[in-house]
Every structure is written in C-alpha cells, then in structure tokens.
Amino acid sequence: MKIITKNQKETIELGKEIARQLRGREIIALEGDLGAGKTTLIKGIARGLGTRKAITSPTFVLMKVYTDFTDKIHGLHRLRIKRLVHVDAYRVKDWRDLRDIGVEEYLGEKNSVVVIEWAERVKKLFHGKKVIWIKMGLGKKENEREIIIRK
Ligand code: ADP
Ligand code: MG
C-alpha cells in the first residue's frame, strides 16, 4: 500500500490511523533516510495510543518505553496496549547492541507495540517474527512524503 502525505500533519494523522488498528504484539519496522518522517509517524502512533509524553528520537539512548496510556482513549482494543517501545537503530553497530539493551523482550510481546527507526540496519533482530515494514521517502514536491506499507 502506497500513501502520499502532503505535510507533517498528514503524516501524524496516518500514524494515528495506524494506531487505531494496533492490537498489541506488532513490530513496525521503519526504513528511510534522515528527514523522511519516521519520528513524525511514530509521534502520530504515540498520540493515537494516547501518550501525552513528548516523542523524540531515542538516538543516543537507543530505546524509549512509553507506558502512560490511560483509559481516556476510547476503543476496546487500544486499552490492551500498555507499552509503546520506540527504538532508534541509527547509531547501533549491529543488532546485538539492541539485544543487549533488552529490545528482544518486547518483540511480539502481548500488550506491547515496538516501532524501530532505521530497522533495515538490524534485520537480524526480527528473525522469524512477523514485521510490518514501512518505507518512507521524499515525495515529488517539497513536504511530500511517500510511504509504503508492507504487512
Ligand atoms: P526522521 O525521523 O525520518 O529523520 P523526522 O520525522 O524527524 O524524520 O523529520 C521529518 C522532517 O520533515 C520534519 O522536520 C518535518 O517537519 C518535515 N516534513 C515535511 N513534510 C513532511 C511530511 N509530509 N511528513 C513528515 N514530515 C515532514
Ligand atoms: Mg528519527
């Protein structure tokens, strides 16, 4: 599925729409260069799940775990998601760096959704697991982004 967003707000909206479909256990792997909109999409997902925390790329800490989901969010299945794990593989040397900080524990875990930026660098982390790949890139016009979702 290919989607074009025209501005940052539309990418946030797309993230919210993705969040509505989450049930827990999903692994969302984001590909795309700096500025493609990966963090922006995750911001939308996080908003859609109901966190109020500011979302910034965990470039230096590699992983951030958000757990502040409240029952203010309507819709039954969304209450099942208790944890959004945001990983940024930009600075990792290889997938073992992520294994060493415990990312694997969350992969496919009930009640958790894991979203990984620069996921193409750590493919081995996902061996045998179901992954939703989302490839992001610049569109034809300024502020357009092309987003390809492969389930
Ligand atoms: P990444 O995490 O892939 O490096 P960010 O989400 O941090 O990317 O940054 C995307 C940048 O591109 C932001 O400065 C944002 O304002 C800008 N931008 C412009 N158009 C869009 C769009 N359609 N979707 C997402 N971001 C956009
Ligand atoms: Mg980013």
pLDDT tens digits, 99-112: 999 999 999 999 99
Q: Which atom of ligand 1 is nearest to the CA of 42?
A: 6
Average pLDDT over residues 5-12: 98
Q: Tell me how far the alpha carbon of residue 33 lies from the centroid of ligand 2, in angstroms.
A: 9
111 lines ligand 1 (CB under 6 A): no
Comparing 44 with 50, the larger pLDDT belongs to: 44
Average pLDDT over residues 39-63: 91
Examine the pLDDT at 141 and tell me if it is beyond 60. yes
pLDDT, residue 80, reads 77
pLDDT, residue 17, reads 96
- Cα distances from 108 to residues 21, 24, 127, in angstroms, run 16, 8, 12
Q: Tell me how far the alpha carbon of residue 57 lies from the centroid of ligand 2, in angstroms.
A: 5
How does pLDDT run across 56-78, given as a tens digit for each residue? 988 888 999 999 876 555 555 55
pLDDT, residue 128, reads 92
What percentage of the chain exceeds 70 in pLDDT? 93
Alpha-carbon gap, residue 48 to 78, rounded angstroms = 9
Which amino acid residue places its CA nearest to atom 14 of ligand 1?
A: 35
CA-closest candidate to residue 86, choices 110, 70, 62: 62
